[in-house]
Amino acid sequence: MKKTTKKFTPRGSTKSSQGGSWSGKRKNQQPKKVNKTQSAPKSRPKSKAKKTVKQFIKGGGATRPKVDHQKGPDKLKIYALGGLEEVGRNMTVFEYGKDIVILDMGNQFPDEDMHGIDYIIPNISSLQGKEKNIRAVIISHGHMDHIGAAPHLLPKLGNPLIIAAPMTAALLKRQLADHHEKFTPNISEIKSINKVYKLGNFKVNFFAVTHSIKDAVGLILETPAGTIIHPGDWRYDLDPVDGPKTDMRHLAKWNKKNKPSILMMESLGSTQAGHQGSEKEVYNNIQNIIQNSNGRVIFGTFSSMVERIGQVIQISENSGKKVAIDGFSMKANIEIGKAFGFIKHGKHTMIDISKVHDYPKNKVVVICTGSQGEGRAVLSRIANGDHHYLKVEPKDTIVFSSSVIPGNERTIQYLKDNLYRQGANVIHKEIMDVHAGGHGKIEDIKLLLSEVKPGFLIPVYANHYLLHESAKVAVSTGIPRSKIFVADNGQIIEFDKKGGRLTNQKVDTSHVFVDGLGVGDVSQVVLRDRQVMADDGMIVVIATIDRKKGQLVQNPDLISRGFIYMKENKKLIEETRSTAKKIFKENLKGGVDENYYKDRIRNEIGKFLYKKTQRRPMVLPVIIQV
């Protein structure tokens, strides 16, 4: 394969015929090499230590450890530790013989009934004892559902080799720096499309992918049993702002008679008709909003959408407007975008958020985090009147320039309602195309399948019903249903010279919850308790017993939280107290079996309260012996 020195950057000023771009120069991007893989220190969330963007970018590029080619059974095993039953928690394991390659380490937003949970990460118990077999962790792009779990998982897996495009590596380093004071990741950056990684029984090639973030890559994973094509998150841009349209036809060469290709296709848009919207149309709409606004324009978007942020800054600058940035992750990612040349602006375009009132309102554009309605994110604080410098005013135009992450619909709707009530002009995708999603729709799926022509198809990265819908689309294009495998999380898919099959074998993919400093210490039992307290509240029954006399010192005390307001329900409180008192009516001399009486309080008070209220509060018995 012919070598090249061109650097990797999907969708820059110069594009390849493969739907991405390869710019000729990038300054200040050569990472310093580290000598050896360092042992993983204990993690802690979000270190307060200040680090510059240059420090985030520096320090990667460690050389790959030498590994022996270890032969094993001629079977390729594929299974997902997340991403086949939900949106997020994306992590896929490929095994051949004793060699393991991992794709992505993402987190997942908690469901609404997962009270207090920050996010969910993949369960890696199936990899315990196999850490030395992990040849590499490949990161497809820098979204949190693909890198968010890495700070928790990489140390536990022995700090394996990470392969990622330059900007993805920089975003990953920033995530690691937020969680660890001292941790040097072993990163090899993809500098050239022609670089091939030999990883034991695996050989990895890369290709550029169009997505809603820069430096997204797909991988081609060659094994003796078959060749996997995995675009990661993907879309077609058939009308880009610059450069040629996306083209995936070059991937068809990997489908051979003696070794057919296995396409692992992200399927989030498998129920949406048509093609994904074009970036050019979005660009034109954003330009019209900024140029024609009579007041401030506030853009809420993902901090990782460096290309969109760069466009807003460029349009604002061309329109003679100042730009203020707010949100920690937004500021950090913009600095990373500048370091890679993806964001450019004049010396006087950017202003501090505290200076927004120093300029006419129609000359100010604000770009901030919070488009998903996160409670303490900037846009929510603006809407709630909690922001230090910004209050919603009737002439403000607020733009939601992002897709809705499944599960956040209600939160975002509350945020929109709040903004509408305050008189703001709110623009979102239902009104105008101000965001082109990063995921292919039905016609894009058909186009991808016609261009790649895979021997087998595995729909991935979506809720389980969407995987089945994706399979239906594939069948409509002529792919036999027997060649399509819709798997559950943890379900092993096998390939060998005889073909492929969906097995009944499964690895553990139960949820691992991150709650504050705790990782995995919140179980399903704890979650159920939280759900009960959130749904029906709790009542505490306190019984104080004189051990010598063998009787209650006084009537049981009751404390209600989230169940009833005690001052307005005195009759029910007295009846509950009387019911609890009857439990201790017998002589208690000789000591009290606390577990026995606690069980009785839980059962009898629980039945009594359900009979009276048709509610099931959590009953917490407390027995004090004096």
DSSP labels, 130-157: -GGGEEEEE-----HHHHTTHHHHHHHT
Question: With contact defined as beta carbons under 8 Å apart, do 289 and 434 qualify?
Answer: yes
> In this predicted model, what pLDDT tens digit does every residue of 480-489 receive, in sequence order?
999 999 999 9
pLDDT attached to residue 364: 92
In this prediction, residues 86-115 reach a mean pLDDT of: 87
Higher pLDDT among residues 40 and 463, named by residue: 463
**pLDDT band at 431; cut points 50, 70, 90:** low
Higher pLDDT among residues 591 and 480, named by residue: 480
pLDDT attached to residue 429: 64
Whole-angstrom CA distances from 99 to 68, 76, 122, 126, 452 are 10, 10, 20, 14, 27
**pLDDT band at 415; cut points 50, 70, 90:** confident
CA atoms of 9 and 333, how far apart (whole Å): 16
SS3 at position 613: helix
Question: With contact defined as beta carbons under 8 Å apart, do 111 and 86 qualify?
Answer: no
pLDDT attached to residue 530: 59
Q: 203 pLDDT exceeds 60?
A: yes
Global pTM value: 0.73
From 91-100, 149-158, 285-294, 412-421, the region with the lowest mean pLDDT? 412-421
Q: 67 pLDDT exceeds 80?
A: no
CA atoms of 84 and 91, how far apart (whole Å): 10
Mean pLDDT of the residues in the chain: 81
Q: 465 pLDDT exceeds 90?
A: yes
Q: What is the largest CA-CA distance in the chain?
A: 93
Q: 192 pLDDT exceeds 60?
A: yes
Q: 83 in the Ramachandran plot: left (φ > 0), alpha (ψ -120 to 50) or beta?
A: left
From 171-185, 372-386, 387-401, the region with the lowest mean pLDDT? 372-386
DSSP labels, 345-386: --TTTEE-GGGGGGS-GGGEEEEES-TT--TTSHHHHHHTT-
In this prediction, residues 461-488 reach a mean pLDDT of: 95
Q: 17 pLDDT exceeds 50?
A: no
CA atoms of 379 and 374, how far apart (whole Å): 8
pLDDT attached to residue 341: 81
DSSP state of 254: G
Three-point CA angle 329, 332, 334, nearest 5°: 105
What spatial distance separates the first Cα and last Cα of the chain, rounded to whole Å? 83
Q: 499 pLDDT exceeds 80?
A: yes
Residue type, 179: H
Q: 491 pLDDT exceeds 60?
A: yes
In this prediction, residues 536-546 reach a mean pLDDT of: 84
> In this predicted model, what pLDDT tens digit does every residue of 551-575 receive, in sequence order?
788 888 888 887 877 777 888 888 8
pLDDT attached to residue 275: 87
Higher pLDDT among residues 47 and 275, named by residue: 275
